[in-house]
Amino acid sequence: MSEKILVGVSGGVDSALSALRLRDLGYDVTAAHLLLKDGEDPTDRLRLERLAQHVPMHRLDCRKQFGDRVVQPFLDAYRKGLTPNPCVICNASLKFRVLLELADRLGIEKVATGHYARVLKRGNRWAIARTPSPKDQTYMLCRLPYEWLPRLCFPLSAERDKTGVKNELASRLGGRLAQGDSQGICFLEGGSLERFLEDHIASEERHIGRMVDHDGKDLGPHRGLIFYTEGQRRGLGLSRGPWFVERRDFTNDRLLLSHGTEATVGTISFENAVWQQEVRAGQECLVQYCYRARPVPGRLTDCHDGCGAVKLRKPAGSVSIGQALALYDGTEYILLGGGFIKYME
């Protein structure tokens, strides 16, 4: 009897190909689509319909859970002056949790998704690891609990770029259904983050105030601190640059700007960590402080009760409070776990 596997399919190219590849490998594949928001993309919907002709598919309405567990915490974080990553939150609090619960009800052990990541066994422990692909998404999985890892499968772990994935899916489902790519934050629905925040956060919660330089000179008004992040250069509307955001002062609603070279941080403190592997203070590691950043060398200087700090070997810029912080083994790119940035200096 073929091994059963549940594949989470978003309607995108990657998850569709993952389901088809697993079927070709002889697995008894069942697909599951989680409806997270109103107004599905027409191409995604058609891709799901075509995929359902090849594998049985469950459709779960998760719109309320998505709003409660992902969108609302995202907005609450911005109100507090944080810069959250909703995909990291969603993977741990909703997507994988719901898929594993469905798999349990169906009597299925393994769960697969279209993430660009590796899952492997090192000795007697399972681990998630980075891939060579520039599309690597291991960072997004940094808060999954260890007990889920033995049940996970990522069929695209060996892919180095998207071209081969699209070409293969085109040969299976047709060229039109191989088009498209991830659009970042899914609930923005093609709009800008700024517009979304304007629509959902009242003006009195935006911390509107003044921009100032290091000497306290007033540089003019700003639209609200929630619309800016540390290290930001664009959209400041000032002449005689270059200017960048050094710090947001939520006590006085001031945006502190610096002129010239961007400020850097050498130590990052974090909280609410989820560890997939054993860690210890003094351990050398690789540090990824946002999705677009490459992991950089550092050392875990403190680690206790889900909190800790890492010292970077070289100072880095554009580090934001509230972002997810992922740590990796310094030699094999094994994901150690991740928390949320609390402070940096």
The Cα 142–Cα 152 span in angstroms is 14
The Cα 232–Cα 294 span in angstroms is 18
The Cα 162–Cα 232 span in angstroms is 29
Active-site residue among 87, 142, 186, 285?
A: 186
Token pair of 170 as six digits = 């085109």
User: Peptide bond before 42: cis, by omega within 30 degrees of 0?
Assistant: no
Q: 28-35 and 57-61: which strand pairing?
A: parallel
Q: CA quadruple 289, 292, 295, 298: dihedral positive or negative?
A: negative
Query: Is 307 noted as a catalytic residue in this protein?
Result: no
**Strand, helix or coil at 301?**
strand
Query: Is 290 noted as a catalytic residue in this protein?
Result: no
Active-site residue among 62, 90, 142, 303?
A: 90
With left for phi above 0 and alpha for psi between -120 and 50, is residue 190 left, alpha or beta?
Answer: left
Active site residues: 90, 186
